[in-house]
Structure 1
């Protein structure tokens, strides 16, 4: 095992300890400290012992750019093989269809990951609480999670979730929403998260996927507000009813 050498000034150390050494020993120690400081500055370990298993920072650090209200989410397909829970929203889907052919009203699209730890659990609980109101207002809720069916079900069995859930394989939908990018890894800026996952985000979308409400929580300190989400959903539902009437 390599020796780790202190990079402090040896003379200061001996002054602190109030130890008097022969002049020759003092000179030798001072010379040794100077050499070691040059070789192991800041108490580094020799290069051949560098740890290699930590994730590497991206050389091209381009921040994520989450979608905001007024923008449009690029369309995505929902594949039957990636459905975790159908609810009434996805129960008739076979094969693969664009999301615009699956929904018939405003869509609440929420992103989730078990790697968000307690934040992810709290998010599911809040969505469970607001789900009935979403349905009353004519909206549909789909949760896109980073986890496959077995992993998600094992982690959330106690909740008995009533809404549709899909596996966002390779973070494909999160990329379209601007919540995930390989050039801006979340593990490099948020303590406690070590997986390659997106940041939390919830959107209210019209049937044409226009964003009418966006709640993005980059730093995990501003979860979505139930009242604001429902207000946006109600406005989107009324707008759709007006368009149908015309």
Structure 2
């Protein structure tokens, strides 16, 4: 007696994966931290390779003191070359403010997840005097909720195909509280330099008053 082979594939029921076994991650849209929020995990690393500093477009070298940076109100701003002219505009605006930020009692730091020769070229061509910190794997950007693998930036903006942090600028006081926030969502770069200087001054004054009390 001949046995006719089935033309349909057979399955072992034990090989079937039920929906409950599949990994599931609920969509969580970016919700950047705002003024008044605390960021207790915010910190910087003294590791020399994570820092790149420029003075009038020329790279400078020397020891880094994270403690001195964090002992004053700190203006931080996220930069990525993938924002093209919008990111460059933000760098130039901050570069124009950096001396006044120091004079008002604060510090300024640019965070980027990209460490390459292009940054050196940009600094030279734009005569930048800025300090850059390599935010490896976007750790700080995730802490401040301006970056997420779960809600890539191209969900919000067309014309960008790389997931990078939002164009965000913050001021963090010595208690690790956010006292200023600005996120450029319309590519105007119109954060107020006057507001930044005012918040830096007020935060530095409050800190000095606490020390003398």
Fold shared by both chains (TM-score > 0.5): yes
CA contact (8 A) 1:145 1:167 kept: yes
- 1:126-154 CA-to-partner distances (Å, cap 9, x unmatched) read 00111111011011101001220423213
Q: Secondary structure at the match of 1:77?
A: coil
Give the helix-richer structure, 1 or 2. Answer: 1
Seen in structure 2, the aligned counterparts of structure 1 residues 138 and 71 have a Cα distance that, compared at 3 Å, is same
- 1:185-220 CA-to-partner distances (Å, cap 9, x unmatched) read 112320121111010111111122211111122443
- 1:61-104 CA-to-partner distances (Å, cap 9, x unmatched) read 311111111111222232321111177xx94328xxxx556432
Distance 1:100 1:210 in 2: 16
Q: 1:240 — aligned with what?
A: 207
Distance 1:111 1:80 in 2: 19
Would you say 1:199 and 2:166 are equivalent positions? Answer: yes
Seen in structure 2, the aligned counterparts of structure 1 residues 219 and 182 have a Cα distance that, compared at 3 Å, is farther
Q: 1:168 — aligned with what?
A: 135
Seen in structure 2, the aligned counterparts of structure 1 residues 242 and 110 have a Cα distance that, compared at 3 Å, is same
Deviation at 1:161, TM superposition (A): 1.6
Q: 1:84 — aligned with what?
A: 52
Deviation >4 Å, runs of 4+: 99-102
- Structure 1 alignment gaps of length 5 or more: 1-57
- Structure 2 alignment gaps of length 5 or more: 1-23, 56-60
Distance 2:102 2:68 in 1: 18
TM-score by length of 2: 0.77
Seen in structure 2, the aligned counterparts of structure 1 residues 152 and 140 have a Cα distance that, compared at 3 Å, is same
Seen in structure 2, the aligned counterparts of structure 1 residues 181 and 77 have a Cα distance that, compared at 3 Å, is same
| Paired residues, number | 183
CA contact (8 A) 1:149 1:167 kept: no
What is the aligned-residue RMSD (CA, Å)?
2.3
Seen in structure 2, the aligned counterparts of structure 1 residues 237 and 102 have a Cα distance that, compared at 3 Å, is closer
Seen in structure 2, the aligned counterparts of structure 1 residues 149 and 244 have a Cα distance that, compared at 3 Å, is farther
